[in-house]
A and B are shown apart, each in its own frame.
Chain A
Amino acid sequence: MNRTTQRPGGGEMQVIVVYDVPAERTHIFRKLLRRRLEHLQQSVFFGKLTDGQVTAMKNEIEDKLEPNDSVVIFESTNPAAFNFTTYGSSEEPGSRFT
């Protein structure tokens, strides 16, 4: 199943990507996602991307997809409607300092 909800307008959006794929295939998606997004947890990525980046990422994911892979992309164009709370040893996402 492959379902995308259409959203209005262009520009920038917050994106969360999670995947569940066989162990020997995780590196494929990890590599693909790390280039654009922050690696939050094992198979969870987060970041701000442009429309174009999201489209490119989706195309790349589709190309790499095999029958048992599962990837879900969450998108939000409204930054005001986006909140997060971190617990435990998680670091604040989106830091520009290392």
Chain B
Amino acid sequence: MPKPNHHIFADGELSRNEGTLRIDTLEGKTEYLPIESVDSLYLHGQLDFNTRALGLLNEHNVPLHVFGWKDYYRGTYLPKRGQVSGNTVVEQVRAYDDPARRLRIGQSIIEASIHNMRGNIRYYDGRRGKFSNTVTKLEELKQSVSTTTDINELRSVEGNARKKYYECFDQILRDPFTLTRREYNPPTNEANAGISFLNGMVYTTCVSAIRKTALDPTIGFVHEPGERRFTLSLDIADIFKPILADRLLFRLVNRQQLSINDFEDELNGCLLNENGRMIVLEEFEEMLDETIDHPRLNRKVSFKTLVQTDVYSLKKHILTDEPYHATARWW
């Protein structure tokens, strides 16, 4: 099982002490984090830290994901590359630059993504409403992925699937949660806020996983490599959002673990409050540790490892042309 993440909600100071991380909270508590047993660090509070603390994270290859005001994702401090391989980057760029190869990888990603969306909808068909039309539609869209001839066409298929998919959310989510439209920047209601927050967590999970390989996170295949974004993480996150984010949100809302009171809306936006974030993160972390039987690897793997194996598989495909197994749920 991979190492656990650690989340810091407290305000205070992060420093290096006796070869490990020390957290001094404003409330006067001091904690020491076992640096060798942490996978990624998430800062949700207001923390001061210096280069010595960053140096320590660097030495132990711990990425630092920073969340700002009201837990908007602010960015990631990535440790110096542990894995370097010019060969991999060259091949990755070649794969991106060759329209046929790029399309093939993109198709695998979108196929898996639609497959996973369909899995969620099929689960709730008959439980929370009648979704058989959507299930069929998603199946058709998944079939049509292989006939797309360029990346724009592929993206429009993905867009259509996502639209159909989100249309079901309103019925799946127990009242008073509503999702008439997926809106972000900022999210406009509770359901949107929950999706946004969880999508952010899936994204950072992918950033951490990609960092463990020599792949360049800025060169994606479905998303256009733009500025200031890790497009490869966005690609991989698309596969895992239905599995890790949406399914969790449905469960939290429908089992009433998360209520409308766990959100706050100010300044024409809506976000999780401190209590809500804790509930969501505890469940999210627990889910990352959950294991399932992996038929190809012939052993049990956790969801966190699943993200990692997906990235490894992509890397292997890029380097050796072995088939890329984008994670499509089989369980």
Instruction: Assess the B37–A31 pair: CB atoms within 8 A.
Output: no
Q: Which of B1, B18, B25, B37 contacts A47 (CB 8 A)?
A: B37
Instruction: Assess the A96–B4 pair: CB atoms within 8 A.
Output: yes
A19-49 CB contacts (< 8 Å) to partner B: 27, 30-31, 34-39, 47-49
Instruction: Assess the B32–A98 pair: CB atoms within 8 A.
Output: no
Q: Which of A27, A34, A48, A98 contacts B8 (CB 8 A)?
A: A98
Task: Name the distance in Å between A53's Cβ and chain B's nearest Cβ.
Answer: 7
A68-97 CB contacts (< 8 Å) to partner B: 96-97
Q: Counting CB contacts under 8 A, is B19 at the interface?
A: yes
Q: Which of B9, B18, B31, B36 contacts A53 (CB 8 A)?
A: B36
Q: Tell me which residues across on chain A come within 8 A of B7, comparing CB atoms.
A: 96-98
Chain B binding surface, main DSSP class: mixed
Instruction: Assess the A31–B1 pair: CB atoms within 8 A.
Output: no
Q: Tell me which residues across on chain A come within 8 A of B33, comparing CB atoms.
A: 98
Chain A binding surface, main DSSP class: mixed
Interface size class of A (residues with CB under 8 A): 10 to 19
Instruction: Assess the A97–B36 pair: CB atoms within 8 A.
Output: no
Query: Which B-chain residue is minimally distant from A97 (CB atoms)?
Result: B7
Instruction: Assess the B34–A38 pair: CB atoms within 8 A.
Output: yes
Task: Name the distance in Å between B204's Cβ and chain A's nearest Cβ.
Answer: 14
Q: How far is the CA of A39 from the CA of B18 in the complex (A)?
A: 13
Q: Counting CB contacts under 8 A, is B128 at the interface?
A: no
Q: Tell me which residues across on chain A come within 8 A of B8, comparing CB atoms.
A: 97-98
Instruction: Assess the A36–B18 pair: CB atoms within 8 A.
Output: no
Q: How far is the CA of A48 from the CA of B285 in the complex (A)?
A: 16
B13-65 CB contacts (< 8 Å) to partner A: 18-20, 23, 25, 31-37
Instruction: Assess the B6–A47 pair: CB atoms within 8 A.
Output: no
Instruction: Assess the B18–A34 pair: CB atoms within 8 A.
Output: yes
Q: Tell me which residues across on chain B come within 8 A of A53, comparing CB atoms.
A: 36-37
Task: Name the distance in Å between B274's Cβ and chain A's nearest Cβ.
Answer: 11
Q: Tell me which residues across on chain A come within 8 A of B31, comparing CB atoms.
A: 98
B168-219 CB contacts (< 8 Å) to partner A: none
Q: Counting CB contacts under 8 A, is B281 at the interface?
A: yes
| Contact status of A98 and B9, CB under 8 A, knowing A30-B18, A31-B19, A39-B32 | yes
Instruction: Assess the B36–A36 pair: CB atoms within 8 A.
Output: yes
| Contact status of A36 and B37, CB under 8 A, knowing A12-B1, A97-B282 | yes
Instruction: Assess the B278–A97 pair: CB atoms within 8 A.
Output: yes
Instruction: Assess the A49–B25 pair: CB atoms within 8 A.
Output: no
Q: Counting CB contacts under 8 A, is B5 at the interface?
A: yes
| Contact status of A48 and B37, CB under 8 A, knowing A96-B6, A98-B6, A98-B31 | yes
Offer 15 A-B interface pairs, CB within 8 angstroms, sorted by A: A11-B1, A31-B18, A34-B18, A35-B20, A35-B35, A36-B36, A47-B34, A48-B37, A49-B37, A53-B36, A53-B37, A96-B6, A97-B278, A97-B281, A98-B8
Contact residues of A with B, CB < 8 Å? 11-12, 27, 30-31, 34-39, 47-49, 53, 96-98
Counting from the closest, the 4 A-B pairs by CB-CB distance are: A31-B18, A36-B36, A98-B8, A35-B20
Contact residues of B with A, CB < 8 Å? 1, 4-10, 18-20, 23, 25, 31-37, 278, 281-282, 285
- Given contacts A36-B37, A37-B37, A97-B278, could you give 7 more A-B pairs where the C-beta distance is less than 8 Å? A27-B18, A34-B20, A35-B19, A38-B34, A96-B6, A96-B285, A98-B6
